[in-house]
A and B are shown apart, each in its own frame.
Chain A
């Protein structure tokens, strides 16, 4: 088991946003969290990456407790977070953004190799390597956010709504990239999506969040046939 959440709750001030969440992510898996607006998907990812302290429960990664660590320490353990809204550094160049993803790494040669790999995966980023990140299109910014996360050489990638605000063609492209990263590099992925159709198609396992609670989970293919999921999230 790569990542395990046991009875995790998290709050903004006095308001509890997620309650008693338990989930597991195995090596090489794509796990998705689906749910409506305000269900607590982003909050769950923020708890995983240390951006929000947990108020109850435990998070372990590769057998080590990581709840309570600040976000800047969680990355060092091998978890990269592609945040909601991409959050690239707007006034830095594409390449500076990517290299900043490798901030904690000391292996200069391997960083250069990984940068070349990211550029091979995203040729459009290479063409624009000296350009300020805010001048990129939405799809390119999403690619940059993914590339930046890959530069930390993670073993688990957390992705928060990578399809948000993108044209269908680009969404397909991003989906293909997620599948590729997962299959070629054996990288485990936690994928948060509003686009449940896409998420269930990509994922091995799925968790359904509703108003901060998780009462339903199962293999993605099974949830795809679940009546409640079909009615509430697939619009069928």
Chain B
């Protein structure tokens, strides 16, 4: 029993890792751009297909493929900023609607390019860290955990300790006042979109060998990310990370001890409960990016 608990905890840490990468990017984009990016799940999907292309098809080293995925999806973010969100900045629902359109385009492109089948990606490593007979952590999952800790740590450092990080937070909190300090909102929007999209892309790229890659895989990712950012408090990065952990623990344990469908229901109920008890989320709206 202890072993099963330990194993489930490891699984939860892994799930929390990639969920928080996706959710933090979504919150960052919302904070700086004021846009709920519905295409965020498809950016995750695009990262996974980068690994299909560069690693499985072109046989580049896995880490190179992941890095290319990060850059490629980051650039997709830049494209969205320039082509969709900037022209629609004064339209409160414009960005959201445009991002739904972009989601469909990305899905259609994935179907066109790769078909609707599930992609087979050769495992990156078969190595497993064996803690005991029943407690094991595949190395490829450890990669995801390490990447999440390093990337989120780097993002925290960037936002709290660097001038451009302050600029990003300033334009999230008061875009006009930020402009008065010489901060161009076009520039902060580009930075936020590159980072936000890039984080989704790298999460998709790192988990590609561990999940089933298909053109519709973004759907469950975005639903999870929405639950997480609502539970954490829309606009709070710390909240998104914390809520990712809470959600991953609950979801993983329910999946292990009951089944996946019940786990999804429990996840959604958790969100409703938070909305009823504390509508601003665990970290409230005071704690913005």
Contact = CB atoms under 8 A, between A and B. Distances in A.
Given A87-B174, A103-B182, A148-B181, 5 more contacts: A83-B176, A83-B180, A87-B176, A100-B183, A103-B166
Interface in B165-193: 166-167, 169-170, 173-174, 176-185
A108 B196 CA distance: 30
A96 interface: yes
Q: Which of B173, B185, B288 has the most CB of A within 10 A?
A: B173
Contacts of B178: 89, 100
B179 A51 contact: yes
A75 B173 contact: no
11 contacts: A70-B179, A71-B180, A72-B181, A72-B184, A73-B182, A87-B180, A89-B170, A91-B169, A92-B169, A100-B183, A134-B286
A223 to B, nearest CB: 29
A100 B167 contact: yes
Main secondary structure of the interface of B (DSSP, over half): helix
A129 interface: no
B169 to A, nearest CB: 6
Given A70-B184, A72-B184, A87-B174, A92 B179 contact: no
B181 A75 contact: yes
Nearest to A90: B173
Given A92-B166, A100-B170, A87 B181 contact: no
Interface residues of B, number: 20
Interface string A98-115: 011101100000000000
Contacts of B180: 49, 51, 71-72, 75, 80-81, 83, 87
Interface string B254-289: 000000000000000000000000000000001110
B287 A91 contact: yes
Given A51-B176, A83-B176, A92 B181 contact: no
Given A89-B173, A91-B286, A103 B179 contact: no
Interface in B126-181: 163, 166-167, 169-170, 173-174, 176-181
Given A90-B173, A100-B167, A100-B170, A72 B287 contact: no
Nearest to B177: A87
Contact of B169 (A70, A75, A89, A148): A89
Contact of A103 (B183, B185, B288): B183
A9 interface: no
A32 B66 CA distance: 59
Contacts of B176: 51, 71, 83, 87
B177 A83 contact: yes
Contacts of A80: 180
A116 interface: no
A92 B173 contact: yes
Given A91-B287, A92-B166, A103 B173 contact: no
A167 interface: no
B173 A72 contact: no
A87 B177 CA distance: 6
Contacts of B169: 89, 91-92, 96
Interface in A75-95: 75-76, 80-81, 83, 87-92
Contacts of A29: none
Interface string B91-125: 00000000000000000000000000000000000
Contacts of A99: 163, 166
A152 interface: yes
Contacts of A90: 173-174
A28 to B, nearest CB: 23
Interface string A112-151: 0000000000000000000000100000000000001000
A13 B180 CA distance: 21
Contacts of A152: 181-182
A100 B174 contact: no
Q: Which of B170, B178, B183 has the most CB of A within 10 A?
A: B170
Contacts of B174: 87, 89-90
Contacts of A91: 169, 173, 286-288
Nearest to A51: B176
A104 B187 CA distance: 13
A156 to B, nearest CB: 13
B163 A103 contact: yes
A75 B166 contact: no
Q: Ordered nearest first, which 9 A-B pairs have the shortest CB separation?
A: A104-B182, A87-B177, A75-B182, A71-B179, A72-B184, A89-B173, A72-B179, A103-B182, A103-B181
Contacts of B173: 89-92
